[in-house]
Structure 1
């Protein structure tokens, strides 16, 4: 059996659901998901453990990789905090899940896991270097160099959503004022539109209005896309990756979003390099596949 033939289990822990899958080769041969409990971190991990045990009944001994949102400690055993999951702060995930499953698990940040998936079997396959960005409730990202996730000395590399794009701007979930995700995520777009229109608005509604020519909605989404494009252009100048891959719910808007981000990115990187941006291919499977690939390491 080659390394790529190894059967592994991926667990993607999110704010609304816990998604799991069994990866054989490059393909998920089993998928399942359960709602994320709201009673604190024990309940969330217990739900994940229950489903992993069920999968182990059919795939005994399969290594397990777990992806979670938020920064991890340097040892990659705990999540420091996950803004969108109730009670997720300083959670000893590796210790708790390994003890209850009976096998050691491998932990990874969810965006970095998705970056590895897109680089291995998705939109960036074949590229020697790539940066994955997910734009949804927040903005997450990951860097893959030579087929490996680049984590950095302090294991925090790739946190594009938390760079300061608007000094003294809105406060993000990380408490950073003016972070990119505070001014350009789906949450930020909906927030700004709700204020501008004086009624609750969803991100999808704002984009629908913008595409139909509503001037106010256009200004809101263009501002967000400009912030994202400018950040990508800066990363191009600093890191010079071969390709960027954009996923997440906001990217599902399609070419209206991607074309604008490309234009702003190339404006930002003008005179340095052409920015290659591709739409993510793996959709909601990216986190599960990436977690399962992490288990192969």
Structure 2
């Protein structure tokens, strides 16, 4: 953590310092109030499926409810999947949220709330949370990767989020892993998300086993010795490990933090990913891979922190 962040974190820890975090996903909107290092009032609701205006209405409603109970929580941060514009005011597209393309999020929420809301990519927000309060807390550089419905990542270098020139740094899920492979939700062929996410594992396992198979069942079958399910999940884990090895060679971070629903499988997942990463990084540096510590709260905590530590 940088000296500036330590100073701001001390301010956050004050009794009067509060910030609201909102984490928007394809299936649910999660909100909470960060008081010091503690998350209060964690709530979720289904993400509306009738377009972006309904999503912003739902977000505004949640924020108003929290501010009615915590009137001092005037700082609000929002995390949304998908790339955002460099000025952090619009979402270019959110592949897993219906109708979320070129959305003026900051302007739209200002119209609804009468205040500025700090916008951040959800994986970058979670990366900040794990760097500040989670598995990478003692590290100055880290990469957070979430493997769930999709795959996202965030990069923290020298204690600060790295967004890149166009605000898209860390879009690991959209990096091509298998040229000519399946089409992703963003319309690209063979991206890591299209071949190694929870969605991809369920799709491939269902096809290979000729019946509907969930991601959780695919892993359970693989761990019980099913040969076909094993091939599917091991292929996905190998691709994630290869991506980590590539990032180790390019960025050389102190630690990788893996979270999300697929990573919650536990030791089986981490052992295979680590083995693939070690083999691909041989002769360079062994990637240090840790499980995320903040779980489903990481996005909300990160969004609340980003509004204070990384305000737009």
Q: Normalising by structure 1, report the TM-score.
A: 0.98
| SS at structure 1 position matched to 2:199 | helix
Q: 1:198 & 1:94 partners in 2: Cα distance?
A: 45
Whole-angstrom distance in 2 between the partners of 1:264 and 1:246? 15
Displaced runs of 4 or more, over 6 A: none
Residue 229 of structure 1, CA deviation: 0.2
Q: How does 1:176-215 map to 2 (within 5 A)?
A: 176-215=188-227
Tell me which of 62, 65, 69 is aligned to 1:58. 69
**Are 2:38 and 1:27 equivalent residues in the alignment?**
yes
State the Cα RMSD in Å.
Answer: 1.1
- For residues 94-133 of structure 1, give each alpha carbon's deviation from its aligned partner in whole angstroms, at most 9, with x where no partner exists: 0111222121110000000000001110111010100000
Give 5+ residue unaligned stretches, structure 2.
Answer: 1-7
Residue from 76, 82, 88 that aligns with 2:100: 88
Match of 1:233 among 231, 245, 270: 245
Instruction: Tell whether 2:11 aligns with 1:3.
Output: yes
Q: Does 1:158 align with 2:170?
A: yes
Q: Matches of 1:182 and 1:87 in 2, distance apart?
A: 20
- Match for residue 183 of structure 2? 171
The secondary structure found in structure 1 opposite 2:286 is: coil
- Could you report, residue by residue, the CA deviation over 1:206-264 in whole angstroms, capped at 9, with x for unpaired residues? 10010001111111111101100001001001100000000000001100000100010
Q: Secondary structure at the match of 1:76?
A: coil
What's the secondary structure of 1:28's corresponding residue? strand
Q: Which residue of 1 aligns with 2:4?
A: none
2:160 counterpart of 1:148: yes
Alpha-carbon shift at residue 146 of structure 1 (Å)? 2.1
1:218 aligns with 2:226: no
TM-score by length of 2: 0.93
